[in-house]
Chains A and B, each alone.
Chain A
Amino acid sequence: MVSLEQQVFGVTFQNPVLLASGTCGYGEEYAEIIGVDDLGGMVTKAVTPEPRVGNPPTRVSETPGGMINAIGLANVGLERFKSEKLPWLRENLSRAQVLVNVAGWSVGDFVTVVSGLDDEDGFIGYEINVSCPNVEGGTMFGTDEASLAQLVRALRSATERPLIVKLAPNVPDIGIFAEICEENGADGLSTINTFPGMVIDVEARRPVIGNVTGGISGPAIRPMGVHATWVAASRTSLPVIGIGGICNARDVLEYVLAGASLVQIGTAMFVDPFTAPQTIEGLCEICDRQGVRKISELVGALEV
C-alpha cells in the first residue's frame, strides 16, 4: 500500500490533495458532504483586511472545458475571519492542514492580514494571492517583477510561518517570477492562479461577466498549469503546489511528475464534491498498480 504522505513546509500532509482557495469557502460548507479532515488540506477563501461584498452579477459562467469567474474576493474580512471562521477550522480539522489565502491591493494590505493572523492557531501558513492589482504601483503584483519582490520581502519580515506565493500565469516566463519569490524568502509556490479571460454575449453585445473580465479555470487550463509547475520546480528549489483543472488521480500525477509536492483541486469540486476524496482513492490505486511505495518518489520524476 502506497504512502501518500508528504513532508512539506515543516509539517506532514497525510496526502497531497488540498482544496483550492475560493472553491471550498472556509471548510464548513463541504463538511456535511465530504470528510474534509481526510484530505491533505485546504486553502481558505482569500482574506482581505476589510470585508468585501464582491463583484456585481453575473459572477460565473461555463467556458469550454471549465468556467470563468469574477467573484471579486468577496470575503468576511480579517476580524470576522478570526472570530467566526478560524474557530471552526481549529476545532474540526486536526489532520488536514490549513493554509490561509491572503489578498490585498497594497503591500500594507497583505502585511495587515498576515500580522493580524500570525498569533492565531488553526492554520500552518499563508498562500499569497498576487493576481490582484497593486493600487500603489498601477500593475498587478504577480506580473510586475519589482512589485512582487517588494511584496514577498515585506511579508517575509512579517512572519516566520510558511509563505507560499500563488503565481499569476499571464506572464512571459513564470520562471522569473518563481525565482523572485525564492530570492526574497518565500517558502513555496502555488502554480497557477486563473488565466484572465472574457466571454461575450453576442446578442446583447455585452460581456457575460458583470466585472467584464474574469479568471478561467478548469480542465482547459490544466496543460498550462502542468507546464508552469514544471518550470517553477525546475528553476527553483522551492516546494511547488500544482493547481489547474485537476479532476482525478491521473491529473494529480501529471502535476506530481512535473514537480509538484502537493496539488489543489478547485473547479472540479463544483462539478462533484466527491472529486477530492475519490482522487485520493485513485492515487492509491494507480500507485499500487505501478508499484510505487511512496508518492514522494514521484515528485519531479518526469523523464524528458
Chain B
Amino acid sequence: MKRKHRIVRAWSEVRSREQVAEETFWLELTAPGIAAQAAPGQFVMIGFGATSWGSPFLPRPNSIAAVRGDVIGLLVRVYGAGSRRLSALRPGDSILTLGPLGSRYEIGDATSVLCVAGGVGLAPFLLLPNWAKGVGKPVDIRLLYGERTGKAVFNQEKIRKLSGLDAEVWTEDGSVGRRGRVTEGLVLEDVDLVLTCGPTPMLKTVRNMTRDAGVPCQIAVEEHMACGMGTCIGCVIETVDPETGLEGYSLVCVDGPVFSAERLRW
C-alpha cells in the first residue's frame, strides 16, 4: 500500500501524565506534525534518542489514542523496561517521536461499526469517533472493552470524555462490568464492520466469529519493532493475498498494523 501521510520526526514535550488504571498511564504530548495527520490504528515510535549508553535503546510503538489540536494522547501500560521508563515521564520532559506510522482502520461505507478492544488495545477506539466525525463519516459506533481484572480497567468517565462512547466493559474477574471474556459480548447482528485490537488470542476469536458470520473485520496486530518505518524488516507477520492466494510475510509497521482479517494466516 502506498503511504498517504508524511512521517514526522520531532522531540515532543510531555504535556501531562495521569495514571488511569493499574500500571497504566495516559500521556499527552505536543506533537503538531503527528496530530495533524493521525488516524485511528496508526502509531508513533516513542524513544529516548540514540545515546551512547543505550538502555532502553529502541523506541517503542504506541497506538495514537487521541488528537486535540497539536496534542496527541497515548495509552501506556508497563510491561518492561521501555514502557516503565515511558510511564515515569513528567510534564515538561522531552521525548523523541516518529509518526504517524502504519495503516489505519478504513470505515468505508459502513454505518454500524463494532469495536472490540482488549487491554491497551483500547487506544485506537478512543480516537475513532472524533476522527470519523472529522472526516465526515456519520457512523454508529459501539465499543466492547475487556480486561483481565477490574483494576486494569481504564477510567470509564475518561473513555466517555475522550471518545463520547459508553464502553461495554467485560472483566475476567467480574469486578467491573460483566464477568467473562469480551468476545462473549460479541453480537454481530446489524453490524457492518468489526474493528479489533488487543491480545492475539482475543483477535483470533474475533476473526473466527466474524468470518463465520460473514462480517468484514479489520485487525490491528502487534510485533516487536526496531525502526517502525520499514527499513529493518524486523516486524513481519504471515499473510496471504486473498485474491491471488500468495503467501508471504508483511511488515506490521508499513503494511499494518491494521490488516483485513482475511489477510492474516492464523
Establish whether residues A60 and B231, one from each chain, have CB atoms under 8 Å apart when the complex forms. no
A57-B237, A60-B235, A71-B232 known; A66 and B226 CB under 8 Å? no
The majority secondary structure among interface residues of chain A is loop
Known contacts A29-B230, A57-B237, A269-B227; is-contact A65 B7 (Cβ 8 Å): no
Q: Which of B9, B56, B58, B81 has the most CB of A within 10 A?
A: B58
Shortest CB-to-CB span from A271 to chain B, Å, is: 4
Query: Does A273 lie within 8 Å of B98, measured CB to CB?
Result: yes
Give min CB distance, A38 to chain B, whole Å.
16
Could you give, for residues 74-88 of chain B, a 1 whenever the CB lies within 8 Å of some chain A CB and a 0 otherwise? 000000011000000
Q: Does A33 contact B (CB under 8 A)?
A: yes
Q: Mark A237-249, 1 if CB is under 8 A from B, else 0.
A: 0000000010110
A257 to chain B, nearest CB (A): 15
Known: A62-B82, A247-B51, A275-B50. A29 touches B57 (CB 8 A): no
Q: Which residues of A contact B160 (CB under 8 A)?
A: none
Partner among B47, B54, B223 whose Cβ is within 8 Å of the Cβ of A57 = B223
Q: Does A9 contact B (CB under 8 A)?
A: no
List A41-96 residues whose CB lies under 8 Å from chain B.
45, 53-54, 56-62, 64-67, 69, 71, 74
Task: Among A29, A64, A69, A218, find the residue whose CB has the most chain B CB atoms closer than 10 A.
Answer: A29
- The verdict on A218 contacting B54 (CB below 8 Å), with A25-B230, A60-B226 known, is yes
Which B residues are in CB contact (< 8 Å) with A74? 233, 236, 249
The answer to whether B47 touches A59 (Cβ under 8 A) is no
Measured CB to CB, the closest approach of chain B to A79, in angstroms, equals 18
B52 touches A24 (CB 8 A): no
| Bound form: Cα–Cα A162–B51 in Å | 33
* Interface pair B50/A248, CB less than 8 Å apart: yes
Instruction: Return the chain A residue nearest B225 by Cβ.
Output: A60
Bound complex: CA A69 to CA B223 (Å):
13
Which of these, A33, A45, A65, contacts B9 with CB under 8 Å?
A33
Does the CB pair A69–B54 fall under 8 Å? no
Cα separation A53 to B247 with both chains bound (whole Å)? 10
Contact across chains for A247 and B223 when beta carbons are under 8 A apart: no
B230 → chain A, closest Cβ, in Å? 5
Assign chain A's interface to a size class.
35 or more
Which of B47, B81, B230 is the one whose CB lies under 8 Å from A272? Answer: B47
CB distance from B3 to the nearest CB of A (A): 9
Known: A247-B52, A248-B52, A275-B50. A67 touches B57 (CB 8 A): yes
CB neighbours (8 Å) of B248 from chain A are 53
* CA A241 to CA B224, docked complex, whole Å: 30
Which partner residue on chain B sits nearest A61 by CB separation? B224
**Whole-angstrom CA separation of A64 from B231 in the bound complex:** 22
A91 → B minimal CB distance (Å): 19
Chain B residue nearest in CB terms to A59: B234
A216 to B81, CA, bound (A): 18
A23 within 8 A of B: yes
Q: Are A69 and B52 CB-contacts (below 8 A) given A32-B6, A271-B47, A271-B58?
A: no
- Measured between beta carbons, the chain B residues less than 8 angstroms from A33 are 7, 9, 229
Q: Mark A106-143, 1 if CB is under 8 A from B, else 0.
A: 00000000000000000000000000000000000000
Cα A274 to Cα B205 with chains together (Å): 41
Taking a contact as CB atoms closer than 8 A, the residue among B6, B54, B82, B235 that contacts A59 in the complex is B235
| Nearest neighbor of A25 in chain B, beta-carbon distance | B231
Confirm or deny: A251 has a beta carbon within 8 angstroms of a beta carbon on chain B: yes
Q: Which of A219, A222, A272, A274 counts the most chain B CB atoms within 10 A?
A: A272
Are A220 and B54 neighbours in the complex by a CB distance under 8 Å? Answer: yes
Do residues B224 and A59 form an inter-chain contact, with CB atoms below 8 A? Answer: yes
- Contact in complex: A271, B49 (CB < 8 Å): yes
Does A54 contact B96, Cβ atoms closer than 8 Å? no
Q: How far is the CA of A81 from the CA of B259 in the complex (A)?
A: 27
Query: What residues on A are CB-neighbors of B47 within 8 Å?
Result: 271-272
With A67-B57, A274-B9 already in contact, the answer to whether A30 and B50 are too (CB < 8 A) is no
The one of B6, B49, B53, B225 in contact with A65, judged by C-beta atoms closer than 8 angstroms, is B53
Task: Indicate whether B100 reaches chain A with its CB closer than 8 angstroms.
Answer: no
Residues from chain A with Cβ under 8 Å of B225 in the complex: 60
Known A-B contacts A23-B231, A269-B227; the reply to A65 vs B54 at CB < 8 A is yes
Q: How far is the CA of A30 from the CA of B98 in the complex (A)?
A: 12
CB distance from A82 to the nearest CB of B (A): 20
CA distance A71 to B81 in the complex (A): 24
Q: Which residues of A contact B (CB under 8 A)?
A: 22-25, 29-30, 32-33, 45, 53-54, 56-62, 64-67, 69, 71, 74, 218-220, 222, 245, 247-248, 250-251, 267-275
- A-binding residues in B (CB < 8 A): 6-7, 9, 47, 49-59, 81-82, 96, 98, 223-227, 229-238, 248-249
Give the 3 A-B CB pairs with smallest separation, nearest first. A60-B234, A219-B54, A268-B50
